[in-house]
Amino acid sequence: MRWERWVAALVGFSGVLVVVGPQMSGDTGPYNLLMLASSPVFAASFLMTKALTRYERVNVIVFWQALTVTVFSLPMAIWFWHPPTVWQWLAFLVAGMLGSAAHYSVTRGFAIADISSTQSVKFLDLVWAAALGWLVFGDIPTRSTLIGGVIISASTIWIAHRESRRRRR
């Protein structure tokens, strides 16, 4: 991993800290910290996925990931189970299809590119979540969300520019 990627990752992560920093106090602070602490688990998942792309087909990897998540989520789902409505089943179906397409795309990207060059884009998830929260739920982004989003976007654009210049040489 080259220095540019490390800088982009650190700047992007600092943007994430700007967004979640104000929410680290109060009753929800420990839960936000727990979510932030789950980052190494996601990183390990991405590294395993990248390793699997060397000798396994993308659709097989995505199938096993979906099955694993289903099995590990089942105990919590059973504990809090409420019969879904027809609209909820439809929403589950759409979410499952979109999620599977996203996992397929990410796994395909890992098969094609160096994983360290793809991870700065992952920070944009926070920006998309804030935008969709505003559009769908009317949740107005806070100042720290907007500032962090600008930092995250800047790091992503900067590394994308550096990577494209590097490939042209």
Given CA atoms 41, 31, 79, 82 in this order, what sign does their dihedral have?
negative
- Residue 6 CB-half CA count within 13 A: 3
- pLDDT higher than threshold 80 for residue 168: no
CA distance 89 to 97: 12
- pLDDT higher than threshold 90 for residue 64: yes
pTM over 0.85: no
Give the per-residue pLDDT at 56: 93
Which tens digits make up the pLDDT trace of 71-104?
A: 988 988 888 888 999 999 999 999 999 999 999 9
CA distance 133 to 139: 5
Which tens digits make up the pLDDT trace of 93-144?
A: 999 999 999 999 989 988 988 776 676 677 677 778 888 899 999 988 888 8
Which tens digits make up the pLDDT trace of 17-42?
A: 887 777 666 676 777 777 777 777 87
Cα angle 107, 2, 129 (rounded to 5 degrees) comes to: 45
- Report the pLDDT averaged over residues 41-52: 86
